[in-house]
Amino acid sequence: MTATVTFTGNAPANADSSVVEWVEDIAQLTQPDRIVWCDGSDEERQRMLDEAVEAGTLIKLNPEKRPNSYLARSNPSDVARVESRTFICSEHEDDAGPTNNWAAPAEMRETLNGLFEGAMRGRTMYVVPFSMGPVGSPLARLGVQVTDSPYVVLSTGTMTRMGAGALAQIGPDTEWVPAVHSIGAPLLPGEEDVVWPCNETKYIVHYPESREIWSYGSAYGGNAILAKKAFALRIASKIGEREGWLAAHMLLLKATNPEGRSFHVAAGFPSACGKTNFAMLQPSIPGWTVETIGDDIAWLAPGPDGSLRAINPEAGFFGVAPGTGHSTNPTAIATLERDTVFTNVALTDDGDVWWEGLTDEAPSHLIDWLGRDWTPDSESPAAHPNSRFTVSAHLCPSIADTWDDPAGVPIDAIIFGGRRATNVPLVAQARDWEHGVYMGATLASERTAAAEGVLGELRRDPFAMLPFSGTHMADHWQHWLNVGERLNDTGNAPLVFQVNWFRRGEDGRFLWPGFSENSRALAWITERIEGRTDAVESPFGLVPVDGAIDYVAAGVSSEDWEALFAIDPEALNAEADDTDVFLARMGTKVPDAVKRQHEEFRSRL
């Protein structure tokens, strides 16, 4: 072991000894030049922003165009989740399941110890305590991340309740999640402390039994901001399984009808499939309002009254920029007017940002995400397809006044959806909770730029959790069934639905206009909750009766409306065969309820 590291400053007086000792152990391994305990203050954040600008690792945007906002550019090899390098190191391989990469914990620890030894030499180690969920909420959970990336500190400060308040919640008997991150590129003497170096070797590793996260080599988003997907989904799915609640890749919204009744909805879509747009929906139907609670992750737990209650464990939005524009999501655009860090978008000549979809026409000249001159004639996009914005939730004009409620909000409906050009109808209701679990378990979507792989390729993404479950996927399905059984016993199980905004006609065009018109499907869902509208049977579930949704007002022809619900038995039987293969891949753990629902689907065809 190399020389002992000593603190350049003392740990906060309220830091529990378990945290202090753990930080000291990681420091001895990684050998940082100094250690900084982050307090989450505005002064600390501004100091770090100023230092990053001075070092050239952040570009300050025009304060008249975009006050207190910044642009970061990543290494071109470090622009998305690296699922191939993400591991669930459970004690038993079967607990990780066939959809996760597994390695024996002892072997992985040996590998990581070798990589992390001296990995922070020449850098600062930041100690970042945070709360997922409102500080002090019975639904919240705590964590501490150490990192050598200022970008990660800034992002965690936006995405969580980070700082002294969270640290104060950790006592001698408090469970908390330890998270270790290094960009894995030790600096040579005299080099500046930069934000965006990375290492060709990358690992994002989770130990479910000990609730630990270790990440090496990447500085991108969910690979490095470990409070997000790593904690809030992968580790939380294991904690929730043990404690009886659900960690879900879901947005949360509050919809209020013209009569003043409000409904809370949780909706699970794969990444880059419109979660943020739906969470910030501006309804096209007069008299309806939609308010935002969260756009990406929800934690759902049976409450004292028997209802399913949910919190948004995050405190900000880490949204995909391309496709977000004045015409598609004006609420998001208003949210980004100030105090935002953009990553891998283009820079305008007057010091603002731009990306594909922001405006109908592109500027005549830009600096693209790689720092090169760009014009509309350029062959490559100006912004990376997975470029991002990071902004605090409280800046969202549509944020609900209950978004930060420690008690959470009661869930009336759960929705699943993905990008499907064929087969799946615009909207369908599950017959019961068990059928809803089958909908979630067999969810499929076309691959997007947020993940590695071929764009447009259809992949199964059960519960929109394929890259994010810290357990065997079939165990995750059984856990949903178990929670539903508890809710059914009290008569408070939410209704479950499936939607598809992306069905195309034979000519390749979208059959449904989407965006604000999605409020018409949402209104039908709430009317089903109230029992105010009828539905008819289909192989997928219960679908709207004629006249239940005013599709003409949405600009949809009767021919397109019929096509949105058209059934192709040959195509659906082929998809059912594919589902057989997928379920077989899950092995013997597939719940009997899911098998039964699949056979019933075949019989309905």
How distant, in Å, are the alpha carbons of 127, 193, 388, 465 from that of 116? Answer: 16, 18, 28, 29
| Three-state secondary structure readout of 313-332 | CCCEEEEECCCCCCCCCHHH
The DSSP-derived string for 543-575 is: EEPTTSS-TTTTT--HHHHHHHT---HHHHHHH
Q: Six-digit token pair at 333?
A: 């655009």
* CB-based contact 215:85 (threshold 8 Å): no
Q: Which of 38, 198, 273, 396 is catalytic?
A: 273
Neighbours of 555 (CB within 10 A): 11
Q: What distance, in Å, lies between the first and last C-alpha atoms of the chain?
A: 65
Dig out the tokens for 27 from the structure.
């420091």
| 42 φ, ψ (degrees, to nearest 5) | -65, -35
- For 414-461, the DSSP string reads EEEE---SSSS-SEEE-SSHHHHHHHHHT-EEE--TTSSS-TT-EEE-
Helix (H, G, I), strand (E, B) or coil at 582: helix
The total number of residues shown for the chain amounts to 605
CA separation (Å) from 45 to 130, 150, 157?
Answer: 15, 10, 8
| CA dist., res. 6 & res. 164, Å (int) | 22
Annotated binding site for Mn(2+): 229, 249, 296
Q: Give the span between the Cα atoms of 497 and 305, in whole angstroms.
A: 23
Nearest to 464 by CA among 281, 295, 213: 295
Phi and psi of 301, rounded to 5°?
-140, 140
CA angle, residues 140, 164, 16, in degrees to nearest 5: 80
Residues 154, 592: Cα–Cα separation, whole Å: 46
CB 181 within 8 A of CB 224: yes
DSSP state string for 235-252: IHHHHHHHHT-EEES-EE
Identify the CA nearest to 295 among candidates 271, 279, 274: 279
Q: What element of type H or E holds 47? A: helix 42-55
Tell me if residue 577 falls in helix, strand or coil: helix
Q: Encoding tokens for residue 179?
A: 């998270």
Binding-site residue positions: 81, 220-222, 229, 249, 271-277, 296, 386-388, 419, 515-518
Active site residue 396: no
Give the number of other Cβ atoms within 10 Å of residue 401's Cβ.
Answer: 8
Q: How far is CA 84 from CA 81, 173, 299, 480, 587, in A?
A: 9, 36, 26, 26, 21
Known binding-site residues for GTP equal 272-277, 388, 419, 515-518
Count of other CB atoms within 10 angstroms of residue 18: 16
Give buried/exposed letters for 335-344 (b at 16+ CB in 10 A, else e).
bbeebbbbbb
Neighbours of 138 (CB within 10 A): 14
**Tokens standing for 77?**
């090899």
Please, are residues 402 and 253 in contact by the beta-carbon 8 Å criterion?
no
Q: Do 32 and 147 form a contact (C-beta atoms < 8 A)?
A: no
- Catalytic positions are 273
